[in-house]
Structure 1
């Protein structure tokens, strides 16, 4: 009888090892499917490489729920459906640039770092307004909480009227994708020092308490429900423009052309909020460190 029992134990152990290996292989395959290489934009943006669009991770828990995130407190000045858009620019600008981003997303940083000056130029000229939406898909894909923590900190910066410069600082100082450095609130507060007037007791408290965590998770829920292919998702007046608009690849020149075509015959926007939305400026040292 002992021989039969030992044999059953060996078979059970073999089955468990096989199940574990299958689970590991399934996880590896899922990670491979989540990376969509955006090779079309290599060179077009003048970049050495583009890490890729990170596809929405269907079926895996990425912290998208709001039940354990405390009360839902939206940052000041948010707009749009369910108040999930952070606006930057004149409210009456003739064109709207809608951007869905994750602060841990390498392709988002590539997009931002390549087109930042152009976007700011067109926004300041009243040609476009930007509506930023925050997602946290890489926390689910890679593990960690840096996407959530950085998004909450950016929402705290919105409360202070300094979302835009802090948003830029985060992308200029983005860690490598596997490095969850943004999970450290201390690092996020340190980077706030690169934005004039942002590092205040109110901002620190907002970051450390996760004041806007539930709002960020609600935004991520909206991203997942929207059927978007990945981050960044960039739309000009509702039409996708990243990495291409129709058959044209995105570039600084093409982006300016698309905005000019969309705005033909329309006056620039001039109606800006009395209290600055995305005001302030990044300090000269706001470069990768």
Structure 2
């Protein structure tokens, strides 16, 4: 249509409608795409939460299983107990005759030691305190009561703790407990190595103690004469509420848990008690 000079015709309306419709479709498509992305993100978040919760449950169940196995095995040996009578070693004292005494009965201080011959921490204690303990017992100032346990047999498997303890009790029968006790720790195998389950190993070590490797000692070791006594001692340890081996008590006070304890401090405490 001719509108005269200087005037232009308006664009056809159908063009505007077309552009408007295209914009609306574009916006609707963008909204739908955004909604779809949000839904995908929600789905991913949901799966992630499910995986985290699932993993946490697995970890808790796994930890519970481990704790259950450790608790079930704690304090056991090879799963069987000796059926023989409880035969205490010569000179055993204390409740139920479960303590092997070393030192003068008249000593004013008593050191109670719960130990396992397969226990690395027990060896560490022995090597650190042995000379001081020997000095004090030889001087008549300290009496030591040794109690034998078999917790490593239960935790690691095997029978080495029990057989070594039986052999030590056999050495007590022969009046050779202190030196054989020290030989066992000096030759302690790695914790995972049940070498003490081999009776020949225990007999070979007896050769390091003058006068111990006798026929009587060999029969005592091979026959497991004191096995039931060892098992009874281990049960007393379990029922005692102790946290582990070694447990070391000086006149009833747990000194092994005292981080400031040293051989020199132990010696001073015993000497003060004897003044």
Q: TM-score, normalised by structure 1?
A: 0.70
Counterpart of 1:234 (choices 241, 244, 248) is 248
Q: Distance in 2 between matches of 1:201 and 1:123?
A: 30
Give the drift of 1:22.
9.1
Tell me if structure 2 keeps the 8 A contact 1:69–1:213: no
2:13 alignment counterpart: none
SS of the equivalent of 2:112 reads: strand
Is structure 2 residue 127 aligned with structure 1 residue 119?
no
Counterpart of 2:235 (choices 202, 206, 221) is 221
Give the drift of 1:30.
5.8
Q: Determine which structure has more spread, i.e. the larger CA radius of gyration.
A: 2
In the TM superposition, what whole-angstrom CA distance separates every residue of 1:173-199 from its partner, at most 9, and x where no partner exists? 100100000000000000000000000
Structure 2 gaps of 5+ residues are 1-58
Tell me if structure 2 keeps the 8 A contact 1:102–1:108: yes
How many residue pairs get matched?
218
Give the drift of 1:241.
0.5
Give the drift of 1:23.
8.4
Is structure 2 residue 192 aligned with structure 1 residue 174?
no
Give the drift of 1:68.
3.3
**Superposition map of 1:1-289 within 5 A:** 26=64, 28-29=66-67, 60=74, 62-63=76-77, 68-244=82-258, 249-264=260-275
Structure 1 gaps of 5+ residues are 1-20, 35-56, 265-289
Tell me if structure 1 keeps the 8 A contact 2:82–2:227: no
- Alignment RMSD (CA, Å): 2.4
1:42 alignment counterpart: none
Give the drift of 1:69.
3.5
Give the drift of 1:258.
1.7
SS of the equivalent of 2:129 reads: helix
Q: Pick 1 or 2: higher relative contact order, CA cutoff 8 A, min separation 6.
A: 1
Tell me if structure 2 keeps the 8 A contact 1:64–1:217: no
Q: Distance in 2 between matches of 1:59 and 1:66?
A: 12
Q: Distance in 2 between matches of 1:216 and 1:64?
A: 13
SS of the equivalent of 1:234 reads: strand
Q: TM-score, normalised by structure 2?
A: 0.74
Give the drift of 1:249.
1.7
